[in-house]
Amino acid sequence: MTLMSSRLGSLIALIFFVWLSIVFGLFIVVRVIFEISLPWQSTLTPTIVGVLRVVLSAVVGVTWLLAWWKLANVYLWRKLRRHD
């Protein structure tokens, strides 16, 4: 029972990490990246800002996925080795 609880606790911690990364990632995208502006004004400025926002938001998205992937790998192999 204790073993099951500790196993469930670790897995819920993984879910909590994913949730936190989604919420924090959204915060970065909405409050930081969407607020980006350039100090100079030209006809190209709105396009550059738009592209910059999309690219940086995509970087945040890819970082989430890489972090989830890395965490799952580390969790799986560490637990498997320990169980051996």
Partner 1 sequence: MDHTVFSGILFCVSFLVTFLTTPLLARMNKRLGVVGTDVHKMDKPRIPEMCGLAVTIGLISSAIIATVALQVEARPIVAFVLCISIAAAVGIADDLGPLSSRVKPALTTLAAVPIVLLGTYSPYMAIPFLGTTRLTIIYPILVIVAIAVLANAINMMNPFNGAMSGTCSVLSLAMIVYLLLLGRSTEMILPSALLGSLLAFHWYNKYPAKAFSGNAGDLSVGAAIGALVVMGRIEVPMLIAMIPHITNAFYLLSSVGGLRERREMPHRPTRLLEDGRIQATEDGKAPITLSRLILAEGALRESEIVNIMIAMTIASSLLGLLTLLLMRP
Q: Which residues of this protein are in contact with partner 1, per CB under 8 A?
A: 3-4, 6-8, 10-12, 14-16, 18-19, 22-23, 26-27, 30-31, 34, 65, 68-69, 72-73, 75-76, 79-80, 82-84
- Residue number with CB closer to partner 1 (10 or 45): 10
**Contact criterion met (CB below 8 Å) for 18 and 75:** no
- Residue number with CB closer to partner 1 (19 or 48): 19
Closest of 60, 71, 70 to residue 15, by C-alpha: 71
Closest of 29, 22, 23 to residue 53, by C-alpha: 29
